[in-house]
């Protein structure tokens, strides 16, 4: 069952022909913007020279810094009057990046999100509660419009206020939720406080989780807590937001919608394509955007193409769970570490709760990793010997994974700060570093 059978199951050759046609159109549009127009004058973008989809590799890449330095209108290639909405990506320093949309762009985006929701089994009969920030963040309006396009009763619940979220779920019989994974474990705790069980006391039948990195172990936990399947959703503001890549019912990688994007995976240093199936940085080119096409945008997200075909019959290639951003990786005592490696270890240990914080600190001139780890069960902290043993086990298992011995501090469930938006699980407080 597909939302758009012809497009989703299009034979590869036809799909590539469609990509080529759309790439040419995109470049002809893009060069109307001050930024890409400048690149055309310098001879770096020549739309007529594109003969095959792989010719995309001859084009210059676009970075977040390029977008920041041409803020706000340098990438706009239509009259401002034709634009009807903008979104900004979550930047903490300097100019944010801003994306403008025309009527066409918003319709195309909503359709992609509807396609994703349909692929995991959501239907127009569902009550779809969208628990995330509305406003400039794309998860709010992106899923709102996608849910409406699908025809589901879409509840713009917004972020936070867990008791009200639970009341909305009960009042309207919510069957599908979209939210960030770090919020679901908190929501589950509030169910507990109210003496309710999400499995027995709601009509929930599926979850969509995304917008922040999480491991397979975290997904498994969430599925257990809520008793339904949780599907991974990938997107970024620069590429609209949600609706770029999404799991299907098989949960074995996210189909990246290749009628709307050209995806490449490259080595972060050489920027050459990595061999099929290896991890590298995802580079995306928009194929159906009018106001602000982007050519070979460097996402900084690290993933790989999953080789082979998906049993669902969709022909669009799948990307693997994002292991992190190239700028998430930290180097400590000569070892390269991704926070997700640590999360993977923690979430496999049943006594560990759902939240943790990785801090890098300098103690007596030596860089250390301090891991604050929430316990799963309240009151367990009375068992001193048990705690010691657990801390030792965490220390050893993390060391085996990352080759650096962390300092582990166990804290009560709920003790770590919980921001309303995406989780903050990493702080670099080492001497000479910016505070994060
Ligand atoms: P923003 O544009 O502010 O919404 O942030 C987009 C970024 O969030 C992406 O570039 C990824 O780094 C991250 N992200 C979004 N979805 C996922 C996902 N499903 N898994 C891991 N990271 C994600
Ligand atoms: Zn599939």
**Location of structure tokens 């590429």:** 239
CB 232 within 8 A of CB 209: yes
How confident is the model at residue 51, as a pLDDT? Answer: 98
Task: Give the model's pLDDT for residue 169.
Answer: 98
Q: Is 315 in the pocket of ligand 1 (CB under 6 A)?
A: no
354 is written with which tokens?
């759902």
CB 386 within 8 A of CB 380: yes
Ligand 1 atom nearest 232 alpha carbon: 19
Span 333-356, average pLDDT: 93
Lowest mean pLDDT among 63-67, 87-91, 189-193: 87-91
Q: Among the bound ligands, name the one nearest to the CA of residue 91.
A: 1
**Which ligand number lies closest to the CA of residue 230?**
1
* pLDDT above 50 (res 205): yes
Handedness of CA 153, 158, 160, 163 (dihedral sign): negative
**What pLDDT score was predicted for residue 163?**
97
- 278 has pLDDT over 80: yes
Q: How many CA atoms lie within 13 A of 260 on its CB side?
A: 27
What's the sign of the alpha-carbon dihedral 146, 241, 221, 306? positive
At 402, list the tokens: 């990352």
Alpha-carbon distance of 436 to 425, in angstroms, equals: 10
**CA 48 vs CA 34, 259, 291: distances in Å:** 19, 20, 21
User: Is 138 touching ligand 1 by the criterion CB < 6 Å?
Assistant: yes
Point out the ligand 1 atom lying closest to the alpha carbon of residue 233: 19
Ligand 1 neighbourhood includes 237 CB (under 6 angstroms): yes
CB–CB of 247/235 below 8 Å?
no
Closest by CA to 145, choosing from 289, 173, 82, 134, is 134
Return d(Cα 360, Cα 347) in angstroms, integer: 20
Query: Which range, 313-317, 322-326, 418-422, is most confident?
Result: 313-317
d(CA 288, CA 323): 27
User: What confidence category does residue 421 fall into, taking pLDDT thresholds of 50, 70 and 90?
Assistant: confident
CA–centroid distance, residue 120 to ligand 2 (Å):
9
pTM of the complete model: 0.92
User: Best substitution site from 99, 180, 211 to test ligand 1's pocket, by max atoms within 8 Å of Cβ?
Assistant: 211
5: its two tokens? 């059978």
Q: Quote the mean pLDDT of the chain.
A: 95
Shortest-distance ligand to the CA of residue 179: 1
Write down the pLDDT at residue 95: 76
**pLDDT tens-digit series, residues 3-19:** 999 999 999 999 999 99
Query: Is 322 close to ligand 1, i.e. is its CB under 6 Å away?
Result: yes
| Gap between the Cα atoms of 220 and 388, Å rounded | 27
pLDDT tens digit sequence for 69-126? 999 999 999 999 999 999 998 665 567 899 999 999 999 999 999 999 999 999 999 9
Confidence class for position 326, pLDDT limits 50, 70, 90: confident
Q: Residue 381: its pLDDT value, please? A: 65
Picking from 105, 15, 9, the residue whose alpha carbon sits closest to that of residue 53 is: 15
Which atom of ligand 1 is least distant from the CA of 90? 3
Domains and CATH numbers, the chain: 1-325 (3.40.50.12780), 330-428 (3.30.300.30)
Residue 293 φ/ψ, nearest 5 degrees: -65, 150
Lowest mean pLDDT among 86-95, 296-305, 362-371, 395-404: 86-95
Contacting residues for 308 by C-beta, under 8 A, at least 6 apart: none
Q: What is the 3-state secondary structure (H, E, C) of the chain?
A: CCCCHHHHCCCHHHHHHHHHHHHHHHHHHHCCCHHHHHHHHCCCCCHHHCCCHHHHHHCCCECHHHHHHCCCCCCCCCCHHHEEEEEECCCCCCCCCEEEEEHHHHHHHHHHHHHHHHHCCCCCCCEEEECCCCCCCHHHHHHHHHHHHHCCEEECCCCCCHHHHHHHHHHHCCCEEEECHHHHHHHHHHHHHCCCCCCCCCCCCEEEEECCCCCHHHHHHHHHHHCCEEEEEEEEHHHCEEEEEEECCCCCCEEECCCCEEEEEECCCCCCECCCCCCEEEEEEECCCCCCCCCCEEEEEEECEECCCCCCCCCCCEECCCCEECCCCEEECCEEECHHHHHHHHHCCCCEEEEEEEEEEEECCEEEEEEEEEECCCCHHHCHHHHHHHHHHHHHHHHHHHCCCCEEEEECCCCCCCCCCCCCCEEECCCCCCCC
Per-residue pLDDT of 130-150, as tens digits, reads 999 999 999 999 999 999 999
**Angstrom distance (rounded) from CA 62 to CA 44:** 12
pLDDT level of residue 377 (50, 70, 90 thresholds): confident
Going by CA atoms, what residue is nearest to atom 7 of ligand 1? 236
Do residues 376 and 350 make contact, with C-beta atoms less than 8 angstroms apart? Answer: yes
| Range 251-258 average pLDDT | 98
- Whether the pLDDT of residue 436 is over 50: the answer is no
């Amino acid at each position: 069952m597909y939302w758009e059978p012809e497009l989703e199951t299009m034979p590869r050759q036809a799909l590539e022909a469609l990509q080529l046609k759309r790439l040419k159109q995109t470049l002809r549009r893009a060069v109307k913007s001050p930024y890409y127009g400048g690149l055309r004058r310098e001879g770096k973008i020549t739309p007529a020279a594109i003969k095959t989809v792989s010719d995309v590799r001859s084009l210059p890449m676009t970075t977040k810094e390029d977008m920041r330095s041409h803020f706000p209108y340098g990438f706009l290639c239509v009259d401002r009057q034709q634009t009807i909405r903008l979104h900004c990506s979550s930047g903490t320093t300097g100019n944010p990046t801003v994306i403008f949309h025309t009527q066409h762009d918003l319709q195309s985006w909503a359709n992609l999100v509807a396609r994703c929701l349909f692929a995991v089994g959501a239907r127009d009969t569902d009550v779809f509660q969208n628990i995330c920030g509305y406003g400039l963040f794309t998860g709010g309006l992106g899923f709102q419009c996608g849910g409406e396009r699908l025809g589901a009763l879409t509840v713009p619940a917004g972020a936070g206020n867990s008791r009200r979220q639970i009341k909305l779920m009960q009042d309207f019989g919510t069957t599908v939720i979209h939210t960030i994974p770090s919020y679901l474990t908190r929501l589950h705790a509030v169910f507990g406080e109210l003496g309710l069980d999400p499995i027995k006391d709601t009509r929930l039948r599926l979850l969509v989780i995304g917008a922040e990195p999480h491991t397979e172990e975290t997904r498994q936990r969430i599925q257990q807590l809520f008793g339904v399947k949780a599907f991974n959703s990938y997107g970024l503001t620069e590429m609209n937001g949600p609706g770029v890549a999404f799991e299907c019912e098989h949960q074995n990688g996210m189909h990246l919608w290749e009628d709307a994007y050209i995806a490449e995976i490259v080595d972060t240093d050489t920027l050459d394509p990595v061999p099929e199936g290896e991890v590298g940085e995802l580079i995306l080119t928009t194929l159906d955007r009018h106001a602000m096409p982007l050519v070979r945008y460097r996402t900084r997200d690290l993933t790989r193409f999953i080789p082979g075909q998906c049993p669902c019959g969709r022909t669009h290639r799948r990307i693997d769970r994002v292991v992190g951003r190239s700028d998430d990786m930290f180097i400590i005592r000569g070892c390269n570490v991704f926070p997700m490696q640590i999360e993977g270890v923690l979430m496999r240990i049943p006594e560990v709760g759902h939240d943790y914080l990785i801090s890098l600190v300098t103690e007596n001139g030596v860089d250390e990793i301090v891991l604050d780890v929430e316990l799963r069960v309240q009151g367990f902290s009375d068992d001193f010997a048990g705690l010691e043993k657990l801390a030792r086990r965490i220390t050893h298992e993390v060391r085996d994974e990352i080759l650096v011995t962390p300092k582990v501090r166990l804290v009560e469930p709920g003790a770590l700060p919980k921001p309303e938006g995406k989780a903050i699980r990493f702080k670099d407080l080492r001497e000479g570093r910016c505070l994060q």
